């Protein structure tokens, strides 16, 4: 499909996934409005397009008029907004994962937007965490207001700026031991951020993706222990692994909740009780024509900077 000169609004385009989506759209000649609370945060994206192709637009996510202005005139809307933890009165799962996407979908329908792609997360249909429950509610709100929207449910996403592998690699730098929460048995199916962005483009292009839910996972299924082993291989650091029951992990997480960016929350411990893998009956990357990239291809490219002595140190 020729996307040149179509207009897209990307909510959360400043984020880890959103910036990759913006780059893919820009490469296809799409004119992009990056809807963000702080336009200055989107300036770094401008060199990824021609002059004037990528335009940061200020948006107050709590204000319908502001959302409608960000959506106005767009052929495509992609919602990549999400948070990992609640903080204060403004950063609430209910508002960000359910109320906001429901409002965006309603406004897209009103404005006659051709295609809406919304980011949810893998396992929300089985999860018991507040994160999962509000994400699921958000999916329902989106499909109720925009039945032709496409929902993407990725497993944990990896890539150069990810928060998952980078956080554990950073911890391995200083901590003598790392926790295996619940024995480290939870399974994940990490998916590459570049493949996730290509899935968004495919969902915009393919008519059969309308009204569908896709579960996005990569070619590797690993439990937490295996994830650490992969991390140790590419950072050249080996640490003790200490099994931590869910109850104890929740106590530890309660203390961490006072930090501005808590590395672990009680809700995240709860979400570790459910495996994060693609269901055998679900539609996935293959249905969108995307060939998944293996962890071993990408992890060494950015985890090598955590080696003792830096990225150029001998292995
Ligand atoms: N990364 C993963 O491993 C993963 C896994 C499963 C699902 N997902 C989902 O995929 C989507 C993209 O993930 P991501 O990792 O790219 O997210 P991200 O980088 O953490 O954040 C995406 C955007 O959310 C907005 N945001 C952050 N805090 C906010 C707050 N308190 N209130 C309102 N907006 C806020 C920011 O937009 P502005 O600052 O520009 O306003 C940010 O650019 C999300 O829906 C996420 O839940 C991600």
Q: What is the pLDDT of residue 284?
A: 98
- Per-residue confidence in pLDDT tens, the chain, 315 aa: 899 999 999 999 999 999 999 999 999 999 999 999 999 999 999 999 999 999 999 999 999 999 999 999 999 999 999 999 999 988 999 999 999 999 999 999 999 999 999 999 999 999 999 999 999 999 999 999 999 999 999 999 999 999 999 999 999 999 999 999 999 999 999 999 999 999 999 999 999 999 999 999 999 999 999 999 999 999 999 999 999 999 999 999 999 988 999 999 999 999 999 999 999 999 999 999 999 999 999 999 999 999 988 888 766
Q: State pTM to two decimals.
A: 0.97
**Ligand 1 atom with the shortest distance to the CA of 163:** 1
Beta carbon of 191 within 6 Å of any ligand 1 atom: no
Beta carbon of 80 within 6 Å of any ligand 1 atom: yes
- CA 56 to each of CA 19, 49, 163, 204, 259: distance values in angstroms, whole numbers, following the listed order: 12, 12, 24, 21, 30
Question: Of the residues 15, 70, 119, 164, which should be mutated to test ligand 1's pocket, given the most ligand atoms within 8 Å of the CB?
Answer: 15
Beta carbon of 261 within 6 Å of any ligand 1 atom: no
Question: Of the residues 81, 101, 189, 213, which should be mutated to test ligand 1's pocket, given the most ligand atoms within 8 Å of the CB?
Answer: 81
Q: How far apart are the first and last CA of the chain?
A: 45
Distance from residue 17's CA to the centre of ligand 1 (Å): 8
Beta carbon of 138 within 6 Å of any ligand 1 atom: no
Q: What is the pLDDT of residue 97?
A: 98
Pick 7-159+189-220+276-292's CATH classification: 1.20.1600.10, 3.40.50.1220, 3.20.20.150, 3.40.50.720.
3.40.50.720
Beta carbon of 21 within 6 Å of any ligand 1 atom: no
Q: How far apart (Å, rounded) are the C-alpha atoms in residues 257 and 35?
A: 29
* Closest CA relative to residue 302, chosen from 213, 220, 231: 231
Q: How far apart (Å, rounded) are the C-alpha atoms in residues 73 and 110?
A: 11
> Domain extents for the chain?
7-159+189-220+276-292
Q: What is the pLDDT of residue 250?
A: 97
Q: What is the pLDDT of residue 315?
A: 63
Beta carbon of 36 within 6 Å of any ligand 1 atom: yes
Q: What is the pLDDT of residue 1?
A: 82
Beta carbon of 91 within 6 Å of any ligand 1 atom: yes
For tokens 């996407």, the residue is 101
Q: What is the pLDDT of residue 313?
A: 78
Query: Is beta strand 54-58 parallel, antiparallel or unpaired with respect to 76-79?
Result: unpaired
């Amino acid at each position: 499909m020729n996307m040149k000169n179509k207009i897209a609004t990307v909510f959360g385009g400043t984020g880890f996934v959103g910036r990759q989506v913006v780059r893919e759209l820009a490469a296809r000649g799409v004119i992009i409005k990056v809807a963000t609370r702080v336009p200055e945060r989107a300036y770094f994206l401008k060199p990824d397009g021609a002059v004037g192709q990528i335009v940061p637009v200020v948006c107050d996510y709590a204000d319908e008029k502001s959302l409608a202005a960000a959506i106005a005139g767009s052929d495509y809307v992609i919602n990549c907004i999400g948070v990992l933890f609640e903080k204060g009165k403004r950063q609430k799962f209910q508002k960000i994962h359910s109320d906001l996407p429901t409002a965006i979908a309603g406004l897209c329908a009103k404005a006659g937007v051709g295609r809406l792609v919304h980011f949810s997360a893998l396992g929300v249909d089985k999860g018991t965490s507040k994160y999962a429950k509000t994400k699921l509610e958000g999916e329902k709100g989106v499909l109720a207001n925009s039945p032709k929207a496409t929902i993407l449910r990725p497993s944990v996403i990896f890539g150069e700026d990810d928060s998952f592998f980078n956080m554990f690699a950073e911890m391995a730098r200083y901590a003598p031991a790392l926790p295996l929460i619940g024995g480290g048995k939870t399974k994940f199916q990490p998916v590459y951020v570049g493949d996730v962005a290509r899935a968004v483009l495919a969902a915009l292009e393919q008519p059969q993706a309308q009204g569908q839910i896709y579960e996005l996972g990569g070619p590797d299924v690993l439990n937490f222990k295996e994830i650490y082993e992969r991390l140790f291989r590419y950072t050249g650091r080996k640490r003790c692994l200490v099994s931590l029951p869910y109850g104890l992990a929740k106590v530890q997480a309660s203390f961490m909740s006072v930090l501005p960016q808590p590395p672990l929350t009680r809700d995240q411990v709860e979400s570790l009780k459910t495996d994060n893998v693609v269901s055998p009956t679900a539609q996935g990357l293959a249905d969108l024509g995307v060939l998944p990239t293996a962890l071993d291809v990408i992890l060494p490219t950015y985890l090598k900077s955590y080696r003792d002595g830096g990225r150029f140190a001998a292995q």
